[in-house]
Structure 1
Amino acid sequence: MKVAIVIASVGRPQELARWADHCRRQTLTPCEIVFSIASDADLPAGFHDNTVTVLRGPKGSSHQRNSGLNALTSAPDVVAFFDDDYVPSRRCLEGIARVFEAHPELVGTTGRLLADGIHSAGIDFETASAMIARFDAEDAAPNLVLNETLGTYGCNMAFRWSVVKDVRFDERLPLYAWQEDVDFSRRLRDHGVVARTEAFVGVHQGVKGGRTAGQKFGYSQIANPLYLIRKGTMPARDALWLMTRNMASNHAKAFRPEPWIDRKGRAEGNWRALKDLVTGRLQPERILEF
């Protein structure tokens, strides 16, 4: 099976450049590697690797991932999307290929994380690499069992190309495009199974650089779930739980925030979105105006 890789990245040149080495370590060589960036500053000066296609285009996770999909020329069997700060095991792509081979009904999947730094100060590369080295040393056969999930997790997800080649990420979700991964995978459920698997494994560092500003992200925490309710790709119960949980966290921690999160900015963004909801102006794209 041929597996292509698309990585959308902004503001993390060091993490993105490491992916050339990650791919060389794989037991299954990717048929194509695409780095989709917004500017030359998103890669180290002088970066060149003839195994990587580098695209430059509009900033935003959905835009950049779509650019990557549009650029694929190898007719892969599977396309995998990874965050730039995801560190894969050496059998990651092999596991992806094997789980899709084993389950013809599978159209989208997300893998197992040994650790996720997104809810902490983050995991440094040396620590993440050590965790992966210990896992790889066990050399265990991939676990091909599928487990139910409501959607894929954007830092590590893979899709059957025959299903997604004409599907694109929603570009009405701008910049960080919060919940675009869930929206994309839920639109595929009429075509087959979307599930979690332990067939491929990695560590998500949760690097804090290159993320959306607090007020913008806070606005998206309200605007994006409500938009997806209207679109029909997020149940109202799930959306209301997301919004309530995030608003509660932002306000409870606003005066003693984690050093890596702008809680006050997020809370302000939450209220700005609610004001726009009442006045009929609420749209995900509004974050581009402030």
Structure 2
Amino acid sequence: MRSMKTLLRLMGAVTLSTVAASSVVACGNAKAPQLNAKYAVLLGWYSNETTSNINQKLSKDQTAGKEKEEITIDKQSITTTNFKTKLLVANNSDPSKFQAKDVDAAKFLADLGFKSGNESQDYSQTDTAAINALKAKITSFEAGKIEANAGKTDFNVGAGTCQISIMDKDGTDAKSIKDYTINTLKKDDVGVPAEVASLVIKDNLALTKDKGYKQGGKVLTSLPWATGKDKEKRLYDSLVKLFGKESLIWASDSNGQNSITTYPTSGKAYLMVKFGNVKLLNNYLDCGDLPGA
């Protein structure tokens, strides 16, 4: 009997250990809970309970040697949020004291741990000062799905998500009070064609022998970046990586009607850049008179 009890006790310990290990894994992969849309409206992050105000955009990092184009968000609309202004109002009888702006503000503040007041009762000076010190920090961002828009002249970015930490203060020693997930606004017409046009310009191209150009030879299958244009090349390459497969279409006329697979012995070459089905230059780029063989 004693042996049986010992065996059952050991089996129970194994079961508890298995459950505990599974729980740790699940928590590690879980995202922060979705912020109540009513609270997001109070903070100005949503315009209504279904529409985010957090814009996605095509952002350019021009740090020397690390140039990159990527989809980012309007961080300032989050990081500059003044929680006291958004959530509290002064007591009409005593402007030095503050109450919650409304019932939802009081519930949100209680969720953050501030329970000394509500929409009809003043918060303590300690809580008021702590609410005033709150800062929002972005811990991660996931862009929405990237796809060509209906006109196939640019790209759309669907609604994404953003992980937010409500910090107790600003600075390196700040601590997170609560973590949330919020939605970002979908973005139409990101502006990729304009970005490509700013990088792939005639002065950036070098139709020379050392870049692969040869009259009567096959047209270039990659852009012949001129010497000293490393920054533009890195930015362009990051666009290709972000938005999809690149194709270069060469023509002997500005309308692109006469495509070429080998360079003519005279005249001009016109270039069109496409990412997938999206035409990235409104008109074929005039590469000027072709150089001699």
Q: TM-score per shorter chain, which class? A: under 0.3
Larger relative helix fraction: 1
Taking structure 2 as the reference length, what is the TM-score of the superposition? 0.24
Normalised by the length of structure 1, the TM-score is: 0.24
Hey, which of these two has a bigger chunk of strand by percent? Answer: 2
Which structure is larger by alpha-carbon Rg, 1 or 2?
2
Higher relative contact order (CA 8 A, sep 6+): 1
